Structure 1
Amino acid sequence: MWFETISGLRIDLDKSEIFSIGRVENLEALALEFGCKVGRLPTSYLGFPLGVQHKFMAIWDRVEERFRKRGVLEKKPHLVKWDTVYSDKRKGGLGVRRLFTLNRALLCKWNWRFANERETFWKHVISNKFEEEEGKWCTREVREGFGVGFWEEIKKEGSLLQYKVVFSMGDGRRVKFWKNKWCGNFALCDSFPSLYVIATSKKAWLVELWDSSREEGVWSPRFSRRFDDWEVERLLVTIQGRRLNPNLEDRVLWKKTKDEIFSVKSLYSALDSRSVI
C-alpha cells in the first residue's frame, strides 16, 4: 500500500476493518482482497463514537465523562498568553492563526467556489442534491435531517460573503435590479427605499428592466404610481452609464483584494481584526 511505501510502517490488516459509507457492492470481496474484516456501524475509534447520531447528548456525555476522569477538562491556569501568540508579528506576537477563525474562512471559500465555478463535477453533485437559489450563486437552505451536515456547515458560513462582495454586470440574467449590489456598495432597495416600496417588479433581474429597443438602450424601472421627477432623478444618476453586455456573464467580485478574487487570507484578516472568533 502507498502508506507502507511512503512511511515504512506496516499495517496490521488482521486487526483492521473496512466500513461502507452508503451502499457498496461486493464489500465482502473487497475485505477479502485487502485481507481485513468487514466492520459495522456504529462503532468507536480511540474512544470516540462513529456512525451514531452526532446530536445525541447521551453519546457525548460518555465521552465527556472519560475526559473528566483523566483530568483533561479540569480548569487549569494557562501558561501561555494566547492573545500574544495570536497577535501579528509586527505587533510583537507570534502570528499563529486562530484555528476556529481560519476554519470559518476555509469553509467560506467553498461558497465562493460554488458561486464562480460553473461546470465542475462537485458543484453539479451539490446542486442536484440541495438545488440552487435564483441566480445560481448558492444552494437553497439545507433542511434535511441526515447526511447533510458537511454542506449545512459550509452554507452557514456563506453569510460571511454577504457584505464583502459586489456584482459585476454582464448580461444581467443572474443579478437582481433592486436586491443585489451591482452599482456601488449598497443595493438599490436600501439606497432608495421610497422607490422600492412602489416598484412593481421588486424581484426583477437586470435584463428585465433594460430596454434594448432603443439604439443605446436605457433602464426602465416600473412603479405602481406616478411620482415627482426629483424622486427618480437620483436613481437614474446612480445607474447612468451602466449597460448590459449580452456577451458576458454576470460575476461576483470580492471587495477585500485588489484583484477582486476571494482569498482565505483576506477573509481571515477581516474576521480576526474584528475579533470574530
Structure 2
Amino acid sequence: MLSSLALVLECRVSKWPLSYLGLPLGGNPKTIGFWDPVVERISRRLDGWKKAYLSLGGRITLIQSCLSHIPSYFLSLFKIPVSIASKIEKMQRDFLWSGAGEGKIDHLIRWEVVSRPREMGGLGFGKTSMRNSALLGKWLWRFPRERSGLWHKVIASIYGTHPNGWDANMVVRWSHRCPWKAIAQVFQEFSPFVRLVVGNGERIRFWEDLWWGNQTLCSQFADLYRVISVKNLTVSNVFDNSLPLFWNFNFRRNLTDSEIDLLQRLMSSLHSVLLSPSSSDSRAWSLSSSGLFSVKSFFYALSKDSNPLMFLPAKFLWSSKVPSKVKALAWLVAHGKVNTNDKLQLRRPYKALCPQWCILCKGNGESIDHLFLRCPVTIGLWHRLFNLVGVIWVPPRSIEDMLVISFKGLGNLLRGKTLWQIACLTLIWMVWQERNNRIFEDKGRTEEMVWDLIRFYSSLWASCTEAFRGVPLSILQLNWIGVCVSRV
C-alpha cells in the first residue's frame, strides 16, 4: 500500500530520520551519528593541508567562519552532546595552533582563554556549549511573543504553560521526539536577563515575577509574602490607578510592627508605578538597549559569567586597522606567549637557542619584554616613533602596559588615533619579522631600513581605512602629523 500511495502522489518512499530543510527530521540528537554531518563539514573546512598556506590570523578567520555558519543551524534547535562539542573544539584547537611544520604542536594559550570573548583576552570563539545555549534561548524569547503561531500552540498543548503565564512549562518529563526538553533546560540561564514591563498589569504576577528592582518582591519582602492569603495576584489586582491609596494585599492576619514597617517601605518604593490600561504587559531583554533579545548579547553574558576579568589591551588590539596576522601576533605578545628563546627553553630545550642571547642586540636574554620593548634595537625604533610625533617617552614596565597606556602622539582626532594604533602594532610585527629573518634565513636589515618599512606599512594600511579616504599614500608617508591634524 505504501508503494501504491507513493506512485499515486508521485513521490518516493523514505524512512526516519530524513532530511528536511537541512535538518534531520525524526532523528535523536543525543546520538553521535546525528551530528556526523556537522563534524564532517567542519573537518572538510579545516583540512590540514590549508594550514601551510595560512598565517595565524588566517586560521583564526577561517575558524570564526566555521563557527558562524556550519554548526549554528543545528545548534539553534538541538542540544549538542558533550562529546561532540569536545570533538569540534579539538578540531578547532588543533587547526589554530598547527603550522607548516610537522611534529608535536605547541598550544601556546589554553583553550579556556582562547574561547573567551575578545574583551576578556580570547579570540571570541566561545565554548560550543555556551553558543548552543545562546541559540536555544531565542526560542524561549519567541514563545510568548508568537502566541498565534502553530508551533507555539503545539508546544503549549504538549507541555502546558508555566504558572507565570508567559513561558511553556519548564518541567518536561517526556520528549515526544521534540527538542523542547533541551530548550527548556536553558530557562534557568535565560530568565535572569528578562525584565517584565508593566502595561495594564494583567499578566504580571505582583510577588513572583521580576518587574521591579533586581529581585522579585517575594524575595525582597519575604516576611510580608509569608502572610499573604492569595499569592498569585497580578499587579492590577493589587493596586489601581483610580484608587492610588487602595492596596489589595489580603493579609491573612494582622501585621506586627516590623511587618508594618516593611509594608510602608514596599508602598513607598512603588509610589511611582502607574498602570496603562491601553497597553498590555510586555517583556524586555535587559542586555540590550532596545529591549529585544539577541543571541550575541546572551552568548556574551554567559561567557562573562564564566570569566568576569577584562583584558585591558583588547580594545587597542582589535579596534586597530591592521591585517589579521598582525593582530594575532600582537595578541600573543600581550599574553606573553610568543616563542622567544626563553619560552622555547622551557617547551623544547633541544630546539631553543641560547636563552641568554638576543639575535638583534647580540646580548641579554631574549624574552618577550626584552625583544619587543627593551632590546637596544627595538627601543631605538620606539624612540624614533615618539620623536617623530614630538612626545617625550619613558619605557613602561612591560609590553602589555605599552598596549594599555593611551599615548596621544598623533592627536585625538580619528586619523591620529587610527594611525597611532597601526604604527605601534606595525613596529611589533616588524621586530618579529626581523628577528625571524636573522635566525631562519640569516638575513638582517639595519635599524634605518626597519624603520623605513615600519613607516611604509603603517602608511599603506592607514591609507586603506575610512579615516584616510582621499589621502594619497605618498603624502601620508611623508607627513603623518600634518595629515592627522588636518580635517580635510
Q: TM-score, normalised by structure 1?
A: 0.69
Aligned residue among 208, 216, 223 for 2:251: 223
Q: Structure 1 residue 161: deviation in Å?
A: 2.0
Q: Structure 1 residue 40: deviation in Å?
A: 4.0
Aligned residue among 15, 20, 26 for 2:5: 26
Aligned residue among 160, 185, 198 for 1:156: 185
Assess, with a 3 A threshold, how the Cα gap between structure 1 residues 42 and 236 changes in structure 2: closer, same or farther.
closer
Partner of 2:391: none
Structure 2: state its 5+ residue gaps: 19-24, 35-86, 95-104, 308-488
Aligned residue among 137, 143, 149 for 1:120: 149
Task: Supply the distance in 1 between the matched residues of 2:252 and 2:159 (Cα, whole angstroms).
Answer: 36
Assess, with a 3 A threshold, how the Cα gap between structure 1 residues 181 and 145 changes in structure 2: closer, same or farther.
closer
Q: How many residues align?
A: 228
Q: Residue 137 of structure 2 contacts residue 186 of structure 2 at CA under 8 Å; is this kept in 1?
A: yes
Task: Supply the distance in 1 between the matched residues of 2:217 and 2:118 (Cα, whole angstroms).
Answer: 41
Assess, with a 3 A threshold, how the Cα gap between structure 1 residues 237 and 102 changes in structure 2: closer, same or farther.
same
Q: Structure 1 residue 92: deviation in Å?
A: 5.6
Partner of 2:302: 271
Task: Supply the distance in 2 between the matched residues of 1:55 and 1:91 (Cα, whole angstroms).
Answer: 32
Which secondary structure does the structure 2 equivalent of 1:147 belong to?
A: coil
Task: Supply the distance in 2 between the matched residues of 1:155 and 1:165 (Cα, whole angstroms).
Answer: 15
- Please show how residues 131-170 of structure 1 align to structure 2 within 5 Å: 131-140=160-169, 141-148=171-178, 150-170=179-199
Structure 1: state its 5+ residue gaps: 1-19, 44-49, 61-71
Assess, with a 3 A threshold, how the Cα gap between structure 1 residues 220 and 273 changes in structure 2: closer, same or farther.
same
| Alpha-carbon displacement from aligned partner over 1:71-102 (angstroms, at most 9, x marks no partner) | x9xx9x96444235324445664332332211
Q: Residue 177 of structure 1 contacts residue 206 of structure 1 at CA under 8 Å; is this kept in 2?
A: yes
Percent identical across equivalent pairs?
Answer: 30
Q: Structure 1 residue 269: deviation in Å?
A: 0.6
**Larger relative helix fraction:** 2
Partner of 1:198: 227
Assess, with a 3 A threshold, how the Cα gap between structure 1 residues 28 and 93 changes in structure 2: closer, same or farther.
same
Q: Structure 1 residue 110: deviation in Å?
A: 0.5
- Please show how residues 31-110 of structure 1 align to structure 2 within 5 Å: 33-34=10-11, 36=12, 38-41=13-16, 79=105, 80=107, 81=109, 82-89=111-118, 93-110=122-139
| Alpha-carbon displacement from aligned partner over 1:115-153 (angstroms, at most 9, x marks no partner) | 2233233222322332222343111232235323x0111
Task: Supply the distance in 1 between the matched residues of 2:192 and 2:162 (Cα, whole angstroms).
Answer: 18
| Alpha-carbon displacement from aligned partner over 1:39-73 (angstroms, at most 9, x marks no partner) | 44589xxxxxx96877799x99xxxxxxxxxxx9x
Task: Supply the distance in 2 between the matched residues of 1:252 and 1:105 (Cα, whole angstroms).
Answer: 18
Partner of 1:13: none
Q: Structure 1 residue 222: deviation in Å?
A: 1.9
Q: Structure 1 residue 241: deviation in Å?
A: 1.8
Which has more radius of gyration? 2
| Alpha-carbon displacement from aligned partner over 1:152-204 (angstroms, at most 9, x marks no partner) | 11111122222112211112221111111111111111001111111111111
RMSD: 3.5
Assess, with a 3 A threshold, how the Cα gap between structure 1 residues 106 and 200 changes in structure 2: closer, same or farther.
same
Partner of 1:188: 217
Q: Does 1:209 align with 2:238?
A: yes
Q: Residue 164 of structure 1 contacts residue 254 of structure 1 at CA under 8 Å; is this kept in 2?
A: yes
Q: TM-score, normalised by structure 2?
A: 0.41
